[in-house]
Amino acid sequence: MEQFVDQVIKILFPALCNQIVEDTDKLRINLEHLGTELQYILSCLEHELHTSCRIQSIVDSFYQELPKLEHAMNEDAQFILNGDPAAKSLNEVVLCYPGFYAIGVYRIAHFFQMMNIPLFPRILTEYAHNETGIDIHPGAKIDYPFFIDHGTGVVIGETCEIGKRVKIYQGL
């Protein structure tokens, strides 16, 4: 999961990952690697998907979703930067904030949840939970921008609905 999530972050935030934004060949290569990684993951879950021909359709849909994910995650990062006096830069938020990471992984997982992909969305959010201590169910409905400060122990369940411009502080 780490490699897949890192690939998505690298594509959505190329400047923060030492990638040249204008290098379209590099972007194409990164997208191809991401697609290959996703195809591999989905092929491991093929018995749950009930058909292998669905895999390419899911990959294509995910490619189409990337601009929406980028927009939501950029809004989240800016909201965190503006709302946390300890945050010094957007780079710091994207690279260091566990709340941003957990929200980003949730947004990716939520897409797959809405596509009715079994297991994979939960695997993604459990990976983020393990990394950050923040447990967000992929079936939750979370608008953007959204901000979790610190976050260890925060649990957002499947039936939770969170609107725009919401901040959650650890321990609430």
| Single-letter code of the amino acid located at 145 | P
Residue 46 has pLDDT above 90, yes or no: no
User: What pLDDT sits at residue 172?
Assistant: 46
Give the span between the Cα atoms of 147 and 114, in whole angstroms. Answer: 22
DSSP letter (8 states) at residue 97: -
Domain span at 68 = 2-169
Q: Is the pLDDT of residue 76 over 90?
A: yes
pTM for the structure as a whole: 0.93
First-to-last alpha carbon distance for the chain, in angstroms, is 29
Would you say residue 92 has pLDDT above 90? yes
Number of domains in the chain: 1
Alpha carbon distances (Å) from 23 to 27, 30, 32, 90: 6, 11, 14, 22
29 to 40, 83, 106: CA distances (angstroms)? 16, 35, 25
Q: What is the CATH number for 51?
A: 1.10.3130.10
Q: Do residues 112 and 93 touch, judged by C-beta distance below 8 A?
A: no
Q: Mean of the pLDDT values across residues 65-80?
A: 98
CA-to-CA separations, 168 to 129, 130, 156, 162, in angstroms, rounded:
16, 19, 10, 10
Structure confidence at residue 40 (pLDDT): 94
Which pLDDT tens digit goes with each residue over 118-157? 899 999 999 999 999 999 999 999 999 999 998 999 999 9
Q: Give bridge partners of residue 166 from the DSSP assignment.
A: 146
Measured between alpha carbons, how far is 95 from 17 in angstroms, rounded to an integer? 9
In three-state secondary structure terms, 21 is coil
What pLDDT is stored for residue 149 in this prediction? Answer: 93
161's tokens = 């609905």
Q: Is the pLDDT of residue 104 over 50?
A: yes
